[in-house]
Amino acid sequence: MQKLGYPERTVELTRIAGYLHDIGNCVNRVDHAHSGAILAFDILKDMGMPVEERTEIMMAIGNHDEKTGTAVNDISAAIILADKSDVHRDRVANQNLSTFDIHDRVNYAVTNSNLSLDAKERKIRLELTIDTEICPVLDYFEIFMDRTMMSKYAAKYLQIWFELVINGTKLL
Ligand SMILES: [Fe+2]
Ligand SMILES: [Fe+2]
């Protein structure tokens, strides 16, 4: 957001939304975007944040899940791009390979993940290295197709072009 020239306060609100975006998981994984949005709204109210600002954050958190949300404001678009690009081996808490589900396997197969923004060209690029011995690229799409499309739309919302490069091949 900084690189795109947003005001410092918007950058700060985006940081806060990013920090709080998954807070709803303390209620339940199901509908965590919605419960989290309401929780954050209350917490930020108690902390004295003006209603206009905490509404922006509530909207961003409430729309970050690919099943129910989409980019609805600039902050939400930034949160989506960051959150949906968060795929990496480090995310896998399960250490037992024999009990991996497809999510574990796909994340585990991603040995390198890099999201980079070219603000001048208005391009954002997600580059992944997937170990195809662990999982075929198609498995990645089986899980991440919705998230990829959500990222593409979020980028469009910010008038940025979204690119996806997997193992050196530009797929989007
Ligand atoms: Fe989430
Ligand atoms: Fe998240």
Ligand nearest to the CA of 24: 1
pLDDT at 114: 95
DSSP strand pairing (110-118 vs 161-166): unpaired
CA of 79 to the centre of ligand 1 (A): 10
For every residue of 12-56, DSSP letters joined together read HHHHHHHHHTTGGGGT-STTHHHHHHHHHHHHHHHTT--HHHHHH
CA of 69 to the centre of ligand 2 (A): 13
pLDDT in tens, 105-142: 999 999 999 999 999 999 999 999 999 999 999 999 99
Average pLDDT, the chain: 96
Give the helix, strand, coil percentages of the chain, each rounded to 5.
50, 15, 35
CA of 145 to the centre of ligand 2 (A): 16
pLDDT at 157 over 90: yes
The percentage of the chain sitting over the pLDDT mark of 90, rounded to a whole number, equals 92
CA of 138 to the centre of ligand 1 (A): 23
pLDDT at 97 over 90: no
CA of 60 to the centre of ligand 2 (A): 12
